[in-house]
Amino acid sequence: MTKNVLVIGLGLIGGSVALALQKAPQVKVIGYDAFIQTRAMAKTLQVVHEVVDDPKLAAEKADFIIFGTPVNATLDWMDKMQTWTLKSTVIVTDTGSTKSLIMEKAKELQAKGITFIGGHPMAGSHKSGITAAKPHLFENAYYMLTPHAEELEENIEKLETLLKYTHGKLVRVNAQEHDHMTAVVSHFPHIVAASLVHQLYQENAQFPMTSSIAAGGFRDITRIASSNPLLWRDITVQNREELIGQLEQWLKEMDAVKDLLQEGDVALIEQYFAMAKEVRDELPISAGAFYTSFDLYVDVPDYPGVISEITGYLAEDNISITNIRIVEAREDLFGILVISFQNEDDRERAVKCIARKANFETYIS
Ligand SMILES: NC(=O)c1ccc[n+]([C@@H]2O[C@H](COP(=O)([O-])OP(=O)(O)OC[C@H]3O[C@@H](n4cnc5c(N)ncnc54)[C@H](O)[C@@H]3O)[C@@H](O)[C@H]2O)c1
Ligand SMILES: O=C(O)C(=O)CC1(C(=O)O)C=CC(O)C=C1
């Protein structure tokens, strides 16, 4: 029998879940978004099978309800849905970046007989909105579920059976531990990225050339500062206790770095960077803890047709690319072409292919 899946919030994440679940057999994906333009776009882009203007009515027939909304909006919907008439077997989940407050609110639903199992796919982007949604966004990424300890195994398995069509790696995690770990690897880094951009803004007032010379390093570390501010306002507010803890640890770390610099012990300074490199290089990229794109930087001279020349070489060797863009990092004749691949193997083949067929230098960041 066909299962109705209602997705509320059709942006990057809700839209990507909807697209992925359209591939599940006997599933009808119904979508709602607060913005009428997004609802219209969802129809045009066929992100869902059907768009509704009233989620309450659609919820009555739903077998699964998935929130793709900013985390504070999810809490509001969880309040509202307590008065809705839902199927007794419905399973409600979310995709929010925070879990503790949402799982706390879920107890109110649970008390009314509504099953809620928190969810969070560890993949995303600084881009937002339905036009950024992709069916393969969650492939190989960890997709965390945070069921209450007393949740029925049968319900968790039902949700896992549906979500396996995202091709994420489904794992079960305690909500508080989730919020601690995501503060470390996701939420706090967003604060650091934003703070670096603030620092540049202040410096730029005195040295206006500073932002023009910001090259790959600054751009890499601050990419996530281009994320949706409303989304990050909600995430940081909900997880602020963990974030204050991270900030205190960071301030201690910065004090230690300050001491290192003041002492000027070159061996210790080198050791500081060496240890960071070792840990960073060992991050389990293929395990998909983070959304990984295998980027290759190619130094290209600026002449017409250079991009099609390179993509042509790759096509001749049957190497698929997932993205291509130009980084205007320098003010000379050369540009940096960034080509993304699906996996390490494709990237290595591309390095060899470009070395064989062209004289362009390639780098891996
Ligand atoms: N961006 C990421 O990298 C990422 C990754 C994993 C999880 N998440 C989580 O996924 C959720 C969605 O984030 P996103 O990146 O897709 O954001 P987004 O801005 O791309 O999409 C959010 C969508 O929700 C809609 N919306 C906002 N308020 C609403 C409301 N009250 N009712 C219905 N629709 C509403 C918006 O119109 C928009 O279409 C958030 O909870 C976020 O924490 C984000
Ligand atoms: O890749 C990015 O731009 C992201 O910010 C994705 C990211 C992350 O911090 O890694 C952001 C929020 C999430 O909840 C999960 C993933």
Supply the ipTM of this predicted assembly. 0.99
Which amino acid residue places its CA nearest to atom 7 of ligand 2? 124
- Name the pairing type of β-strands 323-327 and 334-341: antiparallel
pLDDT value of residue 335:
61
14 pocket-lining for ligand 1 (C-beta < 6 Å):
yes
As a whole number, mean pLDDT of residues 236-243 equals 98
As a whole number, mean pLDDT of residues 171-193 equals 98
CA pair distance 43, 37, nearest whole angstrom:
10
* β-sheet bridge partners, residue 119: 145
pLDDT value of residue 288:
41
CA pair distance 344, 167, nearest whole angstrom:
19
* β-sheet bridge partners, residue 296: 339
Out of 8, 128, 181, mutate this one to test ligand 1's pocket (max ligand atoms within 8 Å of CB): namely 128
Which amino acid residue places its CA nearest to atom 14 of ligand 2? 97
pLDDT band at 292 (very low <50, low <70, confident <90, very high): low
Atom of ligand 1 nearest to the CA of 121: 6
Q: Which of 141-150, 178-187, 281-290 has the lowest mean pLDDT?
A: 281-290
What value does the mean pLDDT of the chain take? 93
CB 92 within 8 A of CB 109: yes
pLDDT value of residue 185:
97
Q: pLDDT, tens digit, for every residue of 191-236?
A: 999 999 999 999 999 999 999 999 889 999 999 999 999 999 999 9
Q: Check whether 100 has a pLDDT greater than 70.
A: yes
Angle value at C-alpha 124, between 196 and 162, nearest 5 degrees: 155
Q: Ligand 1 centroid to 263 CA: how many Å?
A: 46
59 pocket-lining for ligand 2 (C-beta < 6 Å):
no
What domains are there in the chain, each with its CATH number? 3-173 (3.40.50.720), 178-255 (1.10.3660.10), 294-363 (3.30.70.260)
pLDDT value of residue 289:
35
Which amino acid residue places its CA nearest to atom 6 of ligand 2? 124
8 pocket-lining for ligand 1 (C-beta < 6 Å):
yes
Q: Ligand 2 centroid to 259 CA: how many Å?
A: 32
Q: Which residue has the higher pLDDT, 295 or 62?
A: 62
pLDDT band at 291 (very low <50, low <70, confident <90, very high): very low
Contact residues for 356 (Cβ-Cβ < 8 A; gap 6+)? none
Nearest to 52 by CA among 87, 10, 83: 10
As a whole number, mean pLDDT of residues 258-275 equals 98
Atom of ligand 2 nearest to the CA of 290: 10
pLDDT value of residue 328:
57
Question: Roughly what angle, to the nearest 10 degrees, separates helices 100-111 and 71-80?
Answer: 10
As a whole number, mean pLDDT of residues 82-100 equals 98
Q: Check whether 120 has a pLDDT greater than 70.
A: yes
pLDDT value of residue 227:
96
Nearest to 229 by CA among 98, 70, 121: 70
Q: Which of 86-100, 230-244, 339-353 has the lowest mean pLDDT?
A: 339-353
CA dihedral 217, 350, 277, 258 (to 10 degrees): -10
As a whole number, mean pLDDT of residues 258-266 equals 98
Residue 255 backbone phi and psi in degrees, to 5: -65, -40
